[in-house]
Amino acid sequence: MKFGKRLKEQIEETLPAWRGEFLSYKDLKQLVKLIPEAQPCSKVEAEFIDLLNFEIDKLNAFFVGREEEFIIRQRHLQEMIKRVAEMYQARGREEEYAKEMSRIRKEIVNLHGEMVLLENYSSINYIGLAKILKKYDKRSGRLLRLLFIEKILKQPFFTTDLISKLVKECESMIDLVFPSKSDHQQLKPEDKRKLVGEEQSIFRSTVVALVTMQEMRKGSSTYGQFSLPPLSLPDNLLQSLQPTPIPIP
């Protein structure tokens, strides 16, 4: 599948508020097609480079903004878990505790999915930049790709150490707030049905993002020094992300 089509699908599958924040690959590609072949640097090339720099700034601003938002949301959820346990569970108010924890679980699920999508956002936009720069070099006969890739590798949107750390912390929160298999047996039928609905949505966005990252980063005929390394996932990872069925009487 051509990258432009893959990017379009990703944009359609992501959160509505994110759809205008991806690389404007189509606009960059149209400018590349207008560049005169084997001629001195043209006005179109200057427009291309200006747009490229604008797009990199856009990616950085969005990525950093989401990271900061996720840090605040995750800290808030950690505080909520502690406060709810102190207010309700410790005082034996189990029904109120269950109701509050159900709301917290949904927020954690949404946060986790968004953070994994942000990791995917980093990968797919980097690949788009690498591909459009390759097209530019081929069309113009110049070597802009190496210079820009060195710049891109230092950009905030490409640096995913923090978001990866936040994802792992969020997964620890999921382990903490979702009932264990033994706890499932003690739930009322109506509570089990509610929990099933929550668990089935846990990694829906995560699975989509992981599959895309795996497809986009595996070796191909165009794989080279500017490609992201193949994504190494355990064979059973995607299967393990599916919730364990809960028997409901």
pLDDT in tens, 65-86: 999 999 999 999 999 998 888 8
Q: Percent of the chain at pLDDT above 70?
A: 70
Per-residue confidence at 187, pLDDT binned at 50, 70, 90?
Answer: very low
Please indicate, yes or no, if residue 217 is contained in any of the structural domains.
yes
Domain with 222 in it? 3-240
Please indicate, yes or no, if residue 248 is contained in any of the structural domains.
no
Nearest to 116 by CA among 224, 234, 13, 235: 13
Question: Contact, 88 vs 97, CB < 8 A?
Answer: yes
Please indicate, yes or no, if residue 247 is contained in any of the structural domains.
no
- Please give the full DSSP string across 114-158, using - where no structure is assigned: HHHHHHHHHHHHHHHHHHHHHHHHHHHS---HHHHHHHHTTSGGG
Please indicate, yes or no, if residue 220 is contained in any of the structural domains.
yes
Q: What is the pTM of this model?
A: 0.76
Total structural domains within the chain: 1
Q: What angle do CA 126, 131, 134 make, to 5 degrees?
A: 130
Mean pLDDT value across residues 139-146 = 89
Each residue's pLDDT tens digit, 102-140:
888 888 888 888 898 898 899 889 999 999 999 999 998
Please indicate, yes or no, if residue 55 is contained in any of the structural domains.
yes
Each residue's pLDDT tens digit, 16-53:
889 899 999 999 999 999 998 877 778 899 999 999 99
Please indicate, yes or no, if residue 231 is contained in any of the structural domains.
yes
Please indicate, yes or no, if residue 27 is contained in any of the structural domains.
yes
Least confident of 23-37, 62-76, 86-100, 230-244: 230-244
Please indicate, yes or no, if residue 249 is contained in any of the structural domains.
no
